[in-house]
Amino acid sequence: MLAAPIPAHDAERLAALHRLLILDTPPQQRFDKVVQFAAAEFDVPVATISLVDEHRQWFMARVGMPLCEMARDISFCGHAIAEPDVLLIPDALADGRFADNPLVSGPPHVRFYAGAPLTLPCGNTVGTLCLMDSQPRQFGPVDLAILRTLRDLLVRELGRPAEAKHD
């Protein structure tokens, strides 16, 4: 298993994440609705909004993911935050970076992953909007466009001033 890389400017990325003041907050309907829509739209059992801090990936909103968080080094989203665009893995068993990952060999038995980086206007990527399935699958241009649009809406929502945020 290839551990998730640490981006070159991780200190600045983490500072941007902490400035959002959203880590470990209670569920918020506006984010829950996005993952519910994504799971239904893409017909996947798992959809999450993940924020990646120094040691973990925290699921700010989730459908089909029983965990609240997991170690950053084994997370797919830890890899996705280092990418400039969607990290697409049609079959994790066929990808040397992930084939022996415990999330592939054990629950939730990830085979398909699509993670859209949540990059703030300041240039720091704080997390992902991701989709997972226990079956390999293809992801076409229309799927990518929809995922990117949802990601862009989330980034805009994350950047709104706290007093302007309403469910």
- Chain-wide mean pLDDT for the chain? 92
28-85: pLDDT as tens digits: 999 999 999 999 999 999 999 999 999 999 999 999 998 899 999 899 999 999 999 9
Mean of the pLDDT values across residues 15-27? 94
Domain boundaries, the chain: 28-160
Q: At what angle do helices 141-158 and 29-42 cross, to 10 degrees?
A: 180
Buried b (16+ CB within 10 A) or exposed e, 84-100: eebbbbebbeeeeebee
Which one is the CATH code of 28-160: 3.40.50.720, 3.40.50.620, 3.30.450.40, 3.40.50.300?
A: 3.30.450.40
pLDDT of residue 111: 96
pTM above 0.85, yes or no: yes
